[in-house]
Structure 1
Amino acid sequence: MLKTGESHTLTHQALLYLLPAAVLVMFAFFAAKNTIIMVIPLIIFMMGFLACFIVRLNLQVHLLKTIALLLPFSIELPFYMNSMIRFPGELFIGIAAMTLIIEILWQPLKDITNSFHREFLWALPLLLAFLITIPFSEMLYVSVKFSFINILYISVFLIFLARHLRKNPGLFSRLLLLYGAGIIIVALSGFYRLWQWEFNPIVIRGIFQPFYKDHTLFGASSALLAAVFFVSGIRNQSALNRFILWGFSAVFVLMVIFSTSRAAFLSLIFMLVVLMMMYSKFRIIYIIISSLIVAAIVFAFRGSIEERLTRVETISYDEHAGFMERAESAANITTDMSNVERLNRWVSALRMFKERPFTGFGPGTYQFTYIPYQEPGLMNRLSVTNPFEPPEGSGGTTHSEYLLALSEMGILGLIGWIVLLGRWVYIAFEKSRNHPNRWLIITAIAALSTYIFHANFNNFLTTDKFAFLFWGTAAWLITNLYGTEKKPEILHAD
């Protein structure tokens, strides 16, 4: 332990070295537009310099708090060769990645190979899928960049964060509160902009820009936060804390409704179903049997189900439609152009997988390669014929995390997801049954389930804001699992 005088000395050293280094990194970034080839090595060097001092002065927790606070306000800026960088979020994420590398190099091998660190091997199939399929890519540069970003996010938000959550059990709640405060500010800004447009729901899609690229990303983030705070409040021992947690949850639910994201709202209903199953201590075998029964019923009555779906006429972009009508429009597969285009993207992804089942077309290439695979009968005003000039209100990729992996990385990508999600389901329904941190594990799984469902309809894990929430919650799940002592609740004092 450091004495008080030594602690103050280290703090002064931190200010002496870190602040000038941070200023140099910022200066180098903004100067990079004109002298990119010379400045990029300088940026990397200064980020490494910062990482060394963060490790030397044990400032990792402060780095994580800074990232959580800044992410909701991170914006996309042009950088190099038509690439975009999310500033300042990705700069700090890069520093965190370098910090992780230094920590691993300095740590004894026996500490790296313990059971806690072996848990990260469950993410290895997904990471390998990104790497193995790069050589088969249609666009090598795109795939290298896309894979690098995904591996970077997983390394920082899953591995680096989990290592420090284990040392600081109460850290996750503080990170969520910092992030939550930021996204609430963005919500207030969006509400003000909507008021300027006289609450016309047509403009909802862009009112959270430049911080959240569209309303669905904002809705998915709010849904995950709503789940964390709601489930945390159920077993919290303090009546005051319970009131505060449920108050936060209510705010985030209202933000989901405000976003008008149908998938985000439905993900909360799915979360409640998962929560009830975990509370009832369902066995995995029962879940598998129930899923097979539901699938059999859907298959047997697919004709009548399809007929009913064709009768739904509510459209999501009707400015006179209420919230429940918008939710109902999720079943409209005939006249709702958003849904029809989503089906078109899914069909395209499946056709791409059929053509290249083992290697896919390369990580990150779907939006550039799917156009010839579209179904003419499903093409509409939102359909893209030129990836560099999408129609207004269109763009994006598969609108499905799982089909994106399938089309870009083939069967390897899907296996990677199945292995990882299967492990989490096993933890939730089997390993947590008599665990001292059972309710914290339930909270983590309930929160993750919002995106496990939402990922059928959108894909956000290449966005720093959401990658932090998703992989960070997974890191919290792991640290709760590998702890025999009871960990602190959300809003519980350390």
Structure 2
Amino acid sequence: MEQRVPYTWKPVLAGGLLTLLAGMGLFIFGGRVEWLLLPFAYLYLLVLAYDWKAAYWILLCSLPFSMHIELDGGVLSTSIPDEPMIWLFFLLFLLLLAYRPNSIPGWFLRHPITILISLQFLWLLVSVLCSQLFFPAAKFFIAKSWYLVCFYVFPVWIFKDKRDIKTVFWVLLLPVFVTIAVITWRHSTHDYSFLSVNHAIGKLYYNHVEYGAILSMLFPVLVVAFLLSGKKVLWRIVGFLAVAAFSVVLFLTYARAAVLGVAFAAVVAACIRFRLVNWVMPAMYLCIAAIVIFFAHDNMYMEFTPDYEHTYMRHNLSDHIRATFQGQDMSSMERVYRWVAAVRMSTEHPLTGFGPHGFIEHYKTYTVPAFRTYVSDNPERSTTHNYFLLMLTEQGWPAMLLYAILTPLAFAQAQSTYHRFKDRFYKLCTLALAMLLAACFINNFFSELIETHKVGALLYLSLSLLAVLSNKSRQTDIA
């Protein structure tokens, strides 16, 4: 796939000058600082036109810095600067496909992960067509389309060799370290307190849960990079210090799911090494089913209703964890409040669900008041805090089952790929992707972060790269 387009420089320079003058003029007369960004947007368009692979690295580099903003009084929202770049790549995809319809490799289209993601996408379309709220559901479908194109399809054209894998490591990890430095400095002004972590994060991430999820997903990647750092003492020291710093900062996110995600990633890595990973998810699903059946039998879950007056946010981590086990932690019991509502909602539209964005608009009429907490008014309009239940309520049983298959399928592909490779670099990269996906799974069991632009991008990018490595391992095996 050709990634560079020749052109003459005079029209380019003239266009750049006009864009600069237009941006300055609009700033002077309109007073909005955003107009000064026009020249930078023009430069990015030039990079995209000349070498879209370089433009793709810039997009990935922008992800950790991108911030969510609301438009038109909250009716619409986007993230800046990554989402406008994603729109451009979606348009580029349509142009490339029109110019060369067979540009997507056949092996990629036939890959089990691609087939499953395609089925998820098709069922999403069915759910949108049957949605209770068509306009918000349609917007969700369009956004999902360009995210899948940008982060699942484009990588198959981008990742060709070890250099590309090393590049994606640097363009993602270095910006993340910058955000860590900023957040840690802000947090230090509040003595790293439990209650100030969201204030320290600011707009860089949605909250400490997303921040912790990103760190827990990238932590295994950093560990693998340390293992691949070679014999040079300087790189070994830098790698060790980076892993140590990541460990401390991960703890300071105060995100329990993030820590569990790292632990689960280690378990998955060990199971892949000893060819046992195909048992992990069935065993986990069996345990979850047993727990659900236990609490559902004779409404046993009603025995665990919280004391409203004593269920609130604690002021430090130790009290927070203690309250979790005592059923007095506000965030944990709010999850139960919404989980119960989600299960009750699922009986209303079991096949297609309420449609995207349907949970937030309908769930309160399905709640059990006994589980209500101080934050149940939900002004931030967050959803189920469990991606399985989000799929169940918004897209029905087929969507939830397809999502349930995705993780064990990815683990199975990672295990077979890992053992086919002889090259240590590719073996460890495969292991890193499996651990990243394991951490993502745990974080999304307690949240619904796949629909956020940072976690979702990282998930689909990793799945695509896993498919690429799977194909490469087969070629190596044949050779």
- Superposition TM-score, scaled by structure 2 size: 0.82
SS at match of 2:472: coil
**After superposition, where does 1:383-402 map in structure 2 within 5 Å?**
383-384=376-377, 390-391=378-379, 395-402=381-388
Does the 8 A contact of 1:359 with 1:410 survive in 2? yes
Q: 1:330 to 1:475 in 2, by over 3 A?
A: farther
Q: Which residue of 2 aligns with 1:62?
A: 54
Q: Which residue of 2 aligns with 1:252?
A: 246
Q: In the alignment, does 2:197 pair up with 1:204? A: yes
Q: In the alignment, does 2:206 pair up with 1:213? A: yes
Q: In the alignment, does 2:121 pair up with 1:127? A: yes
TM-aligned CA deviation for residue 364 of structure 1: 2.1
CA distance in 1, matches of 2:5, 2:294: 71
4+ long deviations beyond 6 Å? 20-31, 46-51, 299-303, 305-311
Q: In the alignment, does 2:311 pair up with 1:318? A: no
CA distance in 2, matches of 1:207, 1:248: 21
SS at match of 1:112: coil
TM-aligned CA deviation for residue 9 of structure 1: 7.0
More helix by share: 2
Q: Which residue of 2 aligns with 1:279?
A: 273
**After superposition, where does 1:29-108 map in structure 2 within 5 Å?**
57=50, 59-80=51-72, 82-107=75-100
**After superposition, where does 1:251-270 map in structure 2 within 5 Å?**
251-270=245-264
SS at match of 2:201: coil
Q: Which residue of 2 aligns with 1:360?
A: 353
> Quick one: which amino acid aligns to residue 451 of structure 1?
C
TM-aligned CA deviation for residue 485 of structure 1: 8.6
TM-aligned CA deviation for residue 184 of structure 1: 2.3
Structure 1, unpaired ranges of 5+: 35-42, 385-389, 488-494
CA distance in 1, matches of 2:44, 2:270: 46
CA distance in 2, matches of 1:29, 1:450: 46
Q: In the alignment, does 2:398 pair up with 1:404? A: no
Q: In the alignment, does 2:446 pair up with 1:457? A: yes
SS at match of 1:78: strand
Q: 1:340 to 1:27 in 2, by over 3 A?
A: farther
Give the fraction of aligned pairs with identical amino acids, expressed as a percent: 19
Q: 1:69 to 1:450 in 2, by over 3 A?
A: same
SS at match of 1:133: helix
> Quick one: which amino acid aligns to residue 457 of structure 1?
F
CA distance in 1, matches of 2:49, 2:446: 44
TM-aligned CA deviation for residue 236 of structure 1: 5.4
> Quick one: which amino acid aligns to residue 350 of structure 2?
P
Does the 8 A contact of 1:205 with 1:215 survive in 2? yes
Q: In the alignment, does 2:78 pair up with 1:115? A: no
TM-aligned CA deviation for residue 278 of structure 1: 0.8
Instruction: Pick one of 127, 146, 168 that aligns with 1:152.
Output: 146
CA distance in 1, matches of 2:316, 2:324: 16
Q: 1:310 to 1:25 in 2, by over 3 A?
A: farther
* Number of residue pairs the alignment of both structures matches: 455
RMSD over aligned CA atoms reads 4.0
TM-aligned CA deviation for residue 215 of structure 1: 0.6
Q: In the alignment, does 2:410 pair up with 1:418? A: no
